[in-house]
Chains A and B, each alone.
Chain A
Amino acid sequence: MGDDELIGRIAAGDRHALTDLYQRHRGPLSSYLRVFTTDAGVIEEVVQDTMLAVWKGAHRFAGRSSVRSWVFSIARRRAADVFRRKSLRIEADPEWINVADPDPGPESRALSGEAEDDLLMAISSLPTVQREVLMLVFIHGLSYREAAEAIAVPVGTIKSRLNKARQSLRVQIQRRADA
Chain B
Amino acid sequence: MKRHVQDLLPAHLNGTLESGEWERVTDHLAHCEACTLALEEWTLIASATRSAFSTESVDSVGDLHRVWSLVDEHPDTPPNARRVWNHIAPKYEEKNEMSAHTLTPPRYPGERRPASYAWFSAGLVALLLVVGSVAWYASQPGGSGPEPLPARQLAGGVTPAPSSCAPDQSPGLPDVAGTPATGSTSVIDLTEGQYEGWGFLRPEGLPKDGVPVDASTQEGIQATVNSLTSCMNAGDASAIWALTSADYMRRFAATGREPSEVNARAIVPMVGPATGETPVPEIQNAMVFADGRVGAEIRPGFDNPSNSFDYYMFVLQDGQWLIDAAVHVQEFVQILLIVDDSGFSSSKVMVPPMAAELVLTNEGATSHSFVSSDLGLRVEVAPGETSTISLKASPGQYTFTSDIPGDDGDGFRGEIFFEGSLSDPDATPEVSGQDNGSRAPGPALASVTVHVQAPESYAPDRIAVLADRDVEMTLVNERELEANFTIDALGISVDIAPGETTTIVVNAPEGVYAFYSDIPGHAEVGMSGVLFVKDAPATP
Contact A139–B49 (Cβ < 8 Å)? yes
State in angstroms the CA–CA spacing of A49 and B257 once bound together: 13
For the side of the interface on B, what is the size category? 35 or more
Given known pairs A51-B64, A107-B37, the reply for A89 and B114 (CB within 8 Å) is yes
Residues of B within 8 A of A123 (CB): 45, 48-49, 52
Q: Say whether chain A's binding surface is mostly helix, strand, loop, or mixed.
A: helix
Query: Closest CB of chain B to A153's CB: distance in Å?
Result: 5
Residues of B within 8 A of A176 (CB): none
Query: Does A157 interact with chain B (Cβ within 8 Å)?
Result: yes
Contact of A109 among B7, B40, B49 (CB under 8 A): B40
Contact of B118 among A42, A90, A124, A138 (CB under 8 A): A90
Q: Mark A7-45, 1 if CB is under 8 A from B, else 0.
A: 000000001001100110011001100110011111011
Contact A104–B524 (Cβ < 8 Å)? no
Given known pairs A34-B53, A56-B101, the reply for A48 and B45 (CB within 8 Å) is no
Interface centre among B67, B79, B480, by most chain A C-beta atoms within 10 angstroms, is B67
State in angstroms the CA–CA spacing of A84 and B11 once bound together: 33
Given known pairs A27-B57, A95-B125, the reply for A56 and B45 (CB within 8 Å) is no
Contact A107–B33 (Cβ < 8 Å)? yes
Contact B115–A89 (Cβ < 8 Å)? yes
Segment touching A, from B223-231, B262-270, B468-476, B500-508: B262-270
Residues of B within 8 A of A137 (CB): 10-11, 14, 16
State in angstroms the CA–CA spacing of A79 and B164 once bound together: 31
Query: Does A67 interact with chain B (Cβ within 8 Å)?
Result: no
Contact A143–B16 (Cβ < 8 Å)? yes
Closest residue of chain A to B35 (Cβ to Cβ) is A104
Contact A99–B411 (Cβ < 8 Å)? yes
Closest residue of chain A to B128 (Cβ to Cβ) is A92
Q: Can you list 9 A-B contacts with CB-CB less than 8 angstroms, sorted by A residue number?
A: A23-B60, A39-B273, A49-B103, A52-B103, A77-B519, A88-B137, A98-B411, A104-B2, A123-B45
Binding site for A on B (CB under 8 A): 2-3, 6-7, 10-11, 13-16, 33-34, 37-38, 40-42, 44-53, 55, 57-58, 60, 62-64, 66-68, 70-71, 79, 99-105, 111-115, 117-118, 121, 123-125, 127-128, 131, 133-134, 137-138, 142, 145-146, 148-152, 235, 260-263, 265-266, 269-270, 273-274, 328, 338, 342-343, 345-348, 410-411, 454-456, 480-482, 519-526
